[in-house]
Chain A
Amino acid sequence: MDNTDDILVEFIIEAREILDQLDLDFVLLEKTPDDKKLVGNIFRAIHTLKGSSGFFAFKRLEKVTHAGETLLGKIRDGSLALDKQKTSLLLVTLDAVREIVAAIEATHAEPEGDNAQLIEDLLNLANGVALAEREPSETSAATPPPPAAPVQEAATPVLEATSPALATPVAEAASSPPPAALPPIQTSMQPSTQPPTAAAAKSASPAPTAAAQELGVESAQEVAQPVKVNLDLLDKLMNLVSEMVLARNRLLPFAADFGDHHFSGAVRTIDLLTQELQERMMMTRMQPISQIWSKFPRLIRDVSNECGKQVNLVQDGEDTELDRTLLDAIRDPLVHIIRNCIDHGIETPEQRAHLGKPATGQVLLKASHENGMVVIQIADDGGGIDFDLVCQKAIEKKLLTAEHALTLTDIQLLEYIFLPGFSTKSVVTNLSGRGVGMDVVKTNIAKIGGSIEIDSPRGLGTNICLKIPLTLAVMPALFVRCENERYAIPQNSIVEMVRLDLANDSSGLEDFYGLPVFRLRNKLAPLLLLNHQLNLSQKFPGKDAVINIALLQSGGIQFGLLVDEVLNMQEVVVKPLGPLFSGSTDFAGATILGNGSVALILDVAGMANNSGLVAKIQARPLNPVQIAAEVTVEQIPMLLFELPGLEFTAIPLECVDRLESFTVEKIQKNGKREVVQYGSGLMHLLRLNEYIDGASPTPVQSQEPLSVIAHYVNGLPMGLVVGKVHDIIQVPQIMQETNSQQRGLKGCVILNGRVINVIDVQEILRMRRIQDNEIMVYPDNEQSEVAVIDWKMVQ
C-alpha cells in the first residue's frame, strides 16, 4: 500500500463518519429548523468533504458537495428556511455522496457519470426560492448601498464570524441586514459561495488541523479523541493473547512441579499479567450500541415518510457495550424489527386520532446489561400484532386447522410469525410482505446465541425483547465424536441428548420417504447421520445398536444427529475457517482446544439445509399441525412458592433477583407502606396475597419470618412477600390463560397434575402504582390511607 492509498483510506473513513453524523444532524435539523449551530455544523461537514474531494481531484464528488453546500449556505445565513423538500433533497445528496464514496472505496477511483439532475435541483432550490424572496430585498438593498466590488471582503468576515460564535452574527443576518449581504450574490451564484469556501479550503487542505480546530470550538470531544486501530490488527492481537493464555497454561504445571521459588514467582507474575492482558484485550472488542443506532433516526424518518406515518424515536442506553462482531450481527435484525414496528405496528395519524392516541407514534429502543446478556428492547405504541390475521393466514397456509386455531392463545399464535414464508401482508411492498422477515430475525439472533421474545397485548403495541450474549468470542459447545474426529455443536441449537437402544426399542429406526426417522416420546423426529453427512463413512447403525443422538433445532425444525460418542461441554472460541473452505456449509468455524489441536464447529442450520432435510420436512410434515406448535414449547424456569390460600403459585425466575428472609421486627412503616432496611436503602414490601384473586388475607399477628422475593423495578428493590418458597420448576411457556381474567394472575400451567398459578408481576406492580397515585382502596384492604408515597418520587 503506497502513501496516497493510505491517505485515501483515511479520507474514506473520514467521509463515512461525516456522512453518518450528517444523517443524524439532518433528521434533528428537520425537527429544530432554527438551530443555527446545527446548520453551521452541517455546512462545515459538507465543506470538509468538498475540500478533501478537491484534494483528491474527485470532480464529481466535489460538484455534488459544492451544490449541497450552496443550498446549505443559504439556509445557514438565513436567506432560506429549511423545509421538508429541502431536507429530503439534502438527504438524497448525502446518499449520492455515500454512493460515490463507496465506489471510490471499491475501485480507488471516482465512478463514472455525474449527478447533473441532483445538482440542478439543489441549485434551483437555492436559487429559485431565493430569487422569490429576494424580490423585495432588492429595493431595500438599494437604500443601504453595499460595497458591490469587494465581494471577497464581505464574504470572508461572515465565515470568520461564524466559527467562534455562530448564533449572534447569523441571528443578526436573519433579522435585518441580510439584504446587505445578498445583492452581490444575486448577480451570480458562484462567487457568493466560492470565496468563503476557497478561503476555508486554503486553510483546510494544507493543514487539516485548522478545520478540526474550527469544529473543536463547540465540541470538547477532541480532548479524548480515540485512536483508530485497524480491525485486523486488533484481531491479530486478540489471537496472540489467546495463544499467550494457552502458553501460560502449559507453563503453570511446570511451576508446580519444579518447586523453585524464583521460578514459580516469575510464573505467577506472568500468570497475572496474562490474565489482565486478556481482560483488557476483550474490552477493546466492546463497542457502544450507538454505533448502529445512530443510523436509525434516518431510517425511521424514511420509512415513516414512505408509510405516511408520524413516528418519534426514543433511545435509551445507547452506551451499552457489546462485542463488535455482535453489533454487525444484530444490525439487520434490528432494522427489520423497526421497519415492522412502523409498517405493521404504528397506525396512521388518522387511525391513531380515532383511537385516542397521540398522532405521533413512539418507537422505543432500549439497551441494557442484564445477567451477562445485553437486552435490547424495541417497543412501539401501535396496534400490536394482529392475531386474528395471523390465525387466518396460518389456516390459509395449512399450518393450522380451523378447529385447532380456536384453541390457541395469542402467545401460541405468536410463534407462527417466526415461521419461514409467513407474512400477514397480502401485498408485497418494498418494506415488507415477502415473508422472509421474522424467521430470518430469529435465525440470525439464534446464530449468535441470542433469543427473542415478543409481548404484544392486542391493540397496545408490540414489545420485542432481544437477549444477546455480551461477546461472541466465547460460546458454550458440546463436543461429540464421529469416526476419529471431534466436532463441536453450538449449545444454543441443542435441545436434548438421547440414547436409544435399538434392540429394546420396538420401533427402532424407520424410513419415512427415504428419510430415517426415530420415535421420541411418540413423536417422529428425522435423523441425520453425521458420518454420512460429512462423507466420513457409510456405516449405518445395526438393528441392535445403542445409538447417541443429539436432538438439534434449527429454523423451526427439530432433528436428531447421530454421533458416535458424546464427549464434554466446553466454552470455545470461534474462528472462521477461511476462504478455502468457503464452500463448506456444514461448518460454522473451528476452535482451538486447550492442547492446541483444532476442532470443527458444526453449522446446524447449514447441515439441515444441506442434507435436504428441511425441504423434505416442508414437503411432508412428519407430525402435521403439531410440528409448529411443538417446537414452540419452550420451557421457562419459574420459582414455586406458596401464598396464604393459594398453595402452588409461581413467578418467572427472571423477575426474581434475590430471595430474602426478614423477621417481623425488621418491618417498619412508612405511612401505610411496609418497608424494611435493605442494603443502604429501603425496600418497599408488597404483600402478594393482597393483589391476587383467590389468596386469603394476611393472617394477623403472625410471628413467622417473612419470605421475600426481591425484584428490582427501575433499579429500586421491591420486596414481594410470599408464604413458603419451594423450588425452581421448569414450566412450558405456553400457558393456559385463565378464562375470565383473574386479578394478578397471568394464567396457569399444569405440571405433574397440579395446577400452578403464574402471577403477573407487571400487573401487580401496575395495581400498586395505581394505588399510590390515585389512593385507590381495594375492598379487602382495611387500612386507612394516611401517607401516600408518590411513585414517581420514589423512582
Chain B
Amino acid sequence: MNNAGDYLTFSLGKFSFGIIATEVLELNKNLSVTHVPKSPETVRGIANLRGQLVPAIDMYKRLGLDNTTGQQETIAIILKSKGMVVALLVDSVGEIISLEDATFEPPPPNFPAMSRELVFGVHKLTSRLLLMLDHTKIIQGINGSKK
C-alpha cells in the first residue's frame, strides 16, 4: 500500500486517525442509527442513507478503544470498503491533508492487537501522530451476528 496521498483525518477521543480520502463518499451529521439486536458488537446498527441501508460501525469498539468522552459520536464518515458502503461513527472530522512517505512509520509493536489489524502505520506530523487506517480491513472480521 502506498503510504502517501490524500487522507481525511478524524478523531476518536484523544486519538487522531487518517483514512484514504478517495474512498470517502460523504460526511453525515446526525445520522440516525437503528439498533439491530444480536448483531456484532462493533456494528452499532443500521442507518438510512437516502433509501440505502448502510451498517453503522462503532469505531471505538472496532478499534478496541474505550469511549471516555462520555458523549455520542457526532458525525459519520460514509465510505466504501470493499465495494460496500458503511458509515463510520466518529467524534469529529478534521481536514483532508496530503501526506508524504517521509513521515510514515510502521505501527509501534506495543499497539493493541485489535487496532494493529486496522492500523497499517503512523504519520508523524508536527503537532500530533496520525494513525493510518486501512479502509479495506474495516468490515473484515465483522461477519454475521453473535449468538
Contacts and interface: CB of A to CB of B under 8 A. Distances in A.
9 contacts: A239-B51, A240-B51, A578-B53, A580-B84, A581-B36, A582-B144, A584-B36, A592-B53, A598-B48
Contacts of B144: 581-584
B8 to A, nearest CB: 22
A586 interface: yes
A579 B51 contact: no
A163 B144 CA distance: 56
A256 to B, nearest CB: 25
B145 A578 contact: no
Interface in A550-604: 575-584, 586-587, 590, 592, 596-600
B108 interface: no
A596 B53 contact: no
Contacts of B139: 580
B128 interface: no
B55 interface: yes
Interface of A: 239-240, 242-243, 246, 485, 534-536, 575-584, 586-587, 590, 592, 596-600
Interface in B117-142: 139, 142
Interface of B: 32, 34-40, 43, 46-48, 50-55, 84, 86, 139, 142-146
B38 A577 contact: no
Contacts of A592: 48, 51, 53
A243 B51 contact: yes
In order of increasing CB-CB distance, the 5 nearest A-B pairs are A583-B144, A534-B37, A583-B145, A239-B51, A243-B51
B51 A590 contact: no
Given A239-B51, A592-B48, A580 B40 contact: yes
Contact of A597 (B32, B40, B142, B145): B32
* Chain A interface main SS type: mixed
Contacts of A246: 51
Given A583-B144, A584-B145, A577 B36 contact: yes
A246 B50 CA distance: 9
Contact of A600 (B34, B43, B48, B50): B34
The residue among B32, B36, B47, B143 with the most chain A CB atoms within 10 A of its own CB is B36
Contact of B34 (A239, A583, A597): A597
A586 B144 CA distance: 12
B35 A485 contact: yes
B34 A578 contact: no
Contacts of B32: 596-598
- Chain A CB within 10 Å, residue with most, of B32, B50, B51, B55: B51
Contact of A243 (B37, B40, B50): B50
Given A583-B143, A597-B48, A598-B53, A535 B37 contact: yes
Contacts of B37: 534-536, 586, 600
Contacts of B38: 534-535, 584, 586
Given A243-B51, A575-B53, A598-B53, A581 B35 contact: no
B52 A239 contact: yes
Given A580-B139, A587-B36, A600-B34, A242 B51 contact: yes
